[in-house]
């Protein structure tokens, strides 16, 4: 089932897009939890990591590689964190796979 992220991909609702290529889109989170909080999503509608198939392996790697490229461009030379929430216990709220790129401040560990 399509989510709000599909509407962002299709430009039906606005977003602050920082990167786009054939496979993915990246845009700033509407409720940022860090000075830099960007979501990197596949254009393919995959509900979450647990819904990915072996055919999606390269795509999943591309999301992480792209997040690293964006982090460098955003100047996060002091470090950053990539987070993927999957399912209810992780607090996933949008059922379209997304990588959170968080940076610009010291991040606590372990996460809640
Ligand atoms: P999750 O909790 O599923 O891991 O993360 C979903 C993220 O999507 C949240 O951080 C939330 O703020 C963000 N989000 C939800 N709806 C929108 C939206 O319409 N636009 C943008 N830019 N971010 C959104």
**Three-class SS of residue 37?**
strand
Cα torsion at 88, 89, 93, 96 (round to 10°)?
Answer: -70
pLDDT value of residue 71? 98
Contact 43, 70 (CB under 8 A): no
User: How far is the centre of ligand 1, averaged over its atoms, from the C-alpha of 73 (Å)?
Assistant: 22
Exactly one of 31, 37, 98, 100 is catalytic; name it. Answer: 98
* Residue 50, token pair as written in the block: 């647990």
- Pocket lined around ligand 1, Cβ cut-off 6 Å: 4, 15, 27-31, 39, 85, 91-94
Q: What is the pLDDT of residues 4-60, one digit of tens each?
A: 999 999 999 999 999 999 999 999 999 999 999 999 999 999 999 999 999 999 999
Q: What is the pLDDT of residue 1?
A: 85
């Amino acid at each position: 089932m399509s989510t709000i992220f599909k509407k962002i991909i299709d430009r039906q609702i606005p977003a602050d897009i920082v990167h786009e290529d054939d496979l993915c889109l990246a845009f700033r989170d509407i409720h940022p939890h860090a000075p830099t909080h960007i979501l990197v999503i596949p254009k393919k509608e995959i509900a979450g990591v647990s819904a990915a198939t072996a055919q999606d392996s390269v795509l999943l790697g591309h999301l992480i590689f792209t997040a690293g490229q964006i982090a460098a461009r955003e100047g996060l030379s002091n470090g950053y964190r990539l987070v993927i929430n999957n399912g209810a216990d992780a607090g996933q709220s949008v059922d379209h796979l997304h990588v959170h790129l968080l940076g610009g401040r010291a991040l606590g560990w372990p996460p809640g």
